[in-house]
Amino acid sequence: MQTLTQIKALLEERGLRPNKSLGQNFLCDHNLLRRLVEASGAEPGDLVLEVGPGTGTLTESLLERGCKVIACEVDRGLAALLADRLDRFGERVDLISGDCLAGKRSINHAVLERLQGRPFRLVANLPYGVASPLMALLATDHHPRIASERPACMGQFVTVQQEVADRLSAGPGSKEFGELGVVVQAMCEVSNVATLGPECFWPRPKVSSRMVAIVPRERPMIEEPSVLVNACRMLLGQRRKQIGGILAREAPWVLSRLPKGVEPTMRAEALRVEQFVEMARAIARSES
């Protein structure tokens, strides 16, 4: 694995430096990198998608494990560095120079093209700007039970900022509870792998981070996640207002069909994930 000295030297040779606007903080704790790879359960021959590979520390670890890696790097300077550094691995690594997302609601076509419909895992130290939309898309559109015509994501094993990790696992009533947590929890099991202090990165961020595992539920709570996303946006977009008031304006026909345990005087932030699912189904049935 690359040491911090080697990472700095690689960047200096190319006249590069960490780009703050792209959220570039290089994870340089070898024990934690190994822990993430082990948590992923990736075996020789498995296909892995890595987003934000940086100088390739994690990429090389995955390749040395025998995985096939599709690495997507938006920074052109780093992409050129990676192309030279990873050339020795031949066809087992496929480097994409560009954004992993096409907007916030779909994966970049170049990434989908390289995946070729094959099941894969996401293993990455995710840049802050893409973390939430990417994880939500993979948990929904690429869930193994739903992705009949898309490559299925068999799990996400990622490092994200503490704030994002809190939103992933938040429960009702907390300020972190929102669309991301509801949608991901309805489709997947979320668990913590490790907590990382700022000292684990270079440059040191101002916040802590967490490694999380997001594993698809064998039976997701809902088969049409887009229905749940729409319900979340309707109800959580006005989270401090009572459900009855929101529905009276947005979907009055649902007021007489509220799921058991849901009252018009409740606020959406007080609902459990299971209740959001039932609300989503009620709204969808009434609209059809």
Domain ranges, residue 242: 225-287
Instruction: Note whether 127 and 258 are same-domain residues.
Output: no
Distance CA 52, CA 96 (A): 10
The reply to whether 151 and 248 lie within a common domain is no
What is the predicted pLDDT for the residue at 233? Answer: 94
- One-letter amino acid at 35 equals R
Return d(Cα 257, Cα 209) in angstroms, integer.
42
Q: Are residues 108 and 144 in the same domain?
A: yes
CA angle 86, 30, 20 (to 5 degrees): 70
The verdict on 107 and 244 lying in the same domain is: no
Tokens, residue 266: 């409740």
DSSP labels for 38-74? HHHT--TT-EEEEE--TTSHHHHHHHHTT-EEEEEE-
Query: Is 200 found in the same domain as 74?
Result: yes
The verdict on 128 and 239 lying in the same domain is no
- Are residues 19 and 117 part of one domain? yes
Name the DSSP class of 200: G
172-229 pLDDT, tens digit each: 999 999 999 999 999 999 999 999 999 999 999 999 999 999 999 999 999 999 999 9
Last residue of a domain, one of 181, 216, 251: 216
- The predicted structure's pLDDT at residue 132: 96
Amino acid at 247: L
Based on the domain organization, do 139 and 270 belong to the same domain?
no
Residues 73 and 168 placed together within one structural domain of the fold: yes
Structure tokens at 38: 């082990």
Residue-wise pLDDT for 81-95, tens only, equals 999 999 999 999 999
* CATH number assigned to the domain comprising residue 194: 3.40.50.150
- CA distance linking residue 264 with residue 281, whole number of Å: 17
Q: Do both 152 and 18 map to the same domain?
A: yes
Domain boundary among 194, 216, 238: 216
Number of domains in the chain: 2
Strand ranges inside 45-164, DSSP E: 47-51, 68-73, 93-97, 120-125, 153-161
Where the chain has pLDDT below 50, the residues are: none
What's residue 148's pLDDT? 81
Q: Is 122 in the same domain as 44?
A: yes
d(CA 227, CA 279): 10
Looking at residue 88, what is its pLDDT? Answer: 96
| Sequence-ordered list of residues with C-beta below 8 angstroms from that of 219, at least 6 positions apart, any chain | 145
| 198 and 266 housed in the same domain | no
Chain centre distance of CA 256: 36
